[in-house]
């Protein structure tokens, strides 16, 4: 993807450097423009609003919400390369008189044109403690691919080194892969904590930040160096900073100007850290 092509279609970004383009724009408008001009991107990694009354959401009826998210996802399909993927993080929502916390994937998984390759369960250790029902401790990531015959899966890059019997042998050969085991479809990764004395180092003022470790596993497992990754709901720019740290590029849309400014500052700080560590190495 050439940055000039994108600029020709979307205009000057709110912020950009060699590896990141950030647009203060409704992603639907941005995606429609990219699709109209046949611009393709390898992989999309994102966490959309869940329609649960967060400060960054416009409340929609359940049908309107599912319709909106399906439309965005199908625009993502249009702009994805043939070997590309769509990693969609989804939580829960309340359905009046029907469900306290319905997993959003139940409502949307088959309204998206991609092939659903797998559902990943993101399990986190801490969260709200409930009295009348079980404390929720997971969200999902729907791993969609465009072409089931040709997609990126870098298993060695995301192997889990925590192997129970690393020295076990069969016919004189080690049984276990020395790089570790397949990390499975359940990923235990802590949420970004906040609050006095327990705030995570990566915490920003954004109310719904992705943990960098979660994005790291998706980027390393499902994308290749130098590729472009799209996050249509960039928020505090977690996808962009993890991309930058791992030799990938990122284009992001964010509708809220305050979050864009927050994202820009975070990207600039990351750029400085990456450049400093490269200078020390060489």
Q: Which residues make up the interface to ligand SAM (CB under 6 A)? A: 26-28, 47, 49, 56, 206, 208-210, 232-233, 235-236, 238, 253-256, 259
Q: Could you give the CA distance from residue 42 to residue 57 in angstroms, rounded to a whole number?
A: 27
**Min dist. Cβ of residue 197 to ligand SAM (A):** 23
d(CA 186, CA 18): 34
Q: Are 75 and 26 in contact (CB under 8 A)?
A: no
Within 10 angstroms of residue 66's Cβ, the number of other Cβ atoms is 17
Nearer Cβ to ligand SAM (112/159): 112
d(CA 86, CA 119): 12
Quick one: 24 or 80, whose CB is closer to ligand SAM? 24
**In the complex, what is the shortest distance from the CB of residue 49 to ligand SAM, in angstroms, rounded to a whole number?**
5
Q: Which is nearer to ligand SAM, 28 or 191 (CB)?
A: 28
Nearer to ligand SAM, 56 or 115 (CB): 56
Q: Which is nearer to ligand SAM, 159 or 252 (CB)?
A: 252
Residues 6+ apart with CB under 8 A from 31: 72, 75, 76, 78, 79, 232, 253
Closest approach of ligand SAM to the CB of residue 14, in Å: 12
Residue 248 half-sphere exposure toward CB, CA atoms < 13 A: 29
HSE (side-chain half, CA atoms, 13 Å) at 160: 12
Q: Please give the distance of CA 53 from its chain centroid, rounded to a whole number.
A: 21
Least distance between ligand SAM and beta carbon 168 (Å): 39
Give the tokens for residue 162: 């925590």
User: How do strand 186-188 and strand 228-231 relate by DSSP bridges?
Assistant: unpaired
Q: Smaller CB distance to ligand SAM: residue 1 or 241?
A: 241
Q: Which is nearer to ligand SAM, 80 or 238 (CB)?
A: 238
Nearest by Cα to 243 from 261, 223, 268, 263: 223
In the complex, least distance from residue 179 CB atom to ligand SAM, rounded to whole angstroms: 28
For ligand SAM, the closer of residues 254 and 271 by Cβ is 254
Least separation in angstroms between residue 239's CB and ligand SAM is 7
CB atoms within 10 A of CB 95: 12
Q: How many Cβ atoms from other residues are within 10 Å of residue 32's Cβ?
A: 15
Q: What gap in Å lies between CA 262 and CA 206, rounded to an integer?
A: 8
């Amino acid at each position: 993807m050439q940055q000039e092509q994108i600029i020709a279609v979307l205009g000057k970004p709110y912020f950009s450097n060699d590896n990141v383009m950030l647009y203060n724009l409704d992603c639907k408008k941005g995606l429609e423009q990219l699709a109209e001009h046949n611009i393709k991107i390898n992989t999309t990694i994102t966490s959309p609003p869940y329609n649960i009354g967060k400060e960054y959401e416009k409340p929609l009826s359940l049908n309107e919400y599912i319709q909106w998210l399906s439309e965005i996802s199908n625009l993502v399909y249009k702009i994805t390369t043939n070997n590309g993927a769509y990693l969609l993080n989804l939580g829960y929502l309340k359905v009046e008189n029907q469900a306290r916390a319905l997993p959003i994937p139940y409502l949307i998984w088959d309204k998206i044109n991609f092939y659903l390759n797998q559902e990943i369960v993101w399990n986190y250790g801490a969260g709200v403690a409930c009295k009348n029902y079980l404390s929720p401790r997971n969200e999902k990531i729907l791993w969609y691919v465009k072409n089931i015959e040709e997609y990126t899966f870098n298993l060695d890059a995301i192997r889990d080194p925590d192997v129970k019997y690393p020295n076990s042998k069969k016919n004189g050969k080690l049984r276990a892969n020395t790089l570790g085991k397949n990390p499975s479809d359940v990923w235990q990764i802590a949420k970004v904590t906040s609050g006095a004395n327990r705030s995570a180092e990566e915490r920003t003022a954004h109310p719904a930040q992705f943990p960098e470790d979660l994005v790291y596993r998706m980027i390393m497992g499902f994308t290749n160096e130098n590729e472009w990754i799209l996050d249509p709901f960039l928020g505090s720019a977690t996808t962009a900073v993890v991309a930058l740290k791992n030799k990938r590029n990122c284009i992001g849309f964010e509708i809220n100007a305050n979050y864009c400014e927050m994202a820009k500052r975070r990207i600039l700080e990351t750029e400085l850290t990456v450049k400093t560590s490269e200078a020390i190495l060489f």
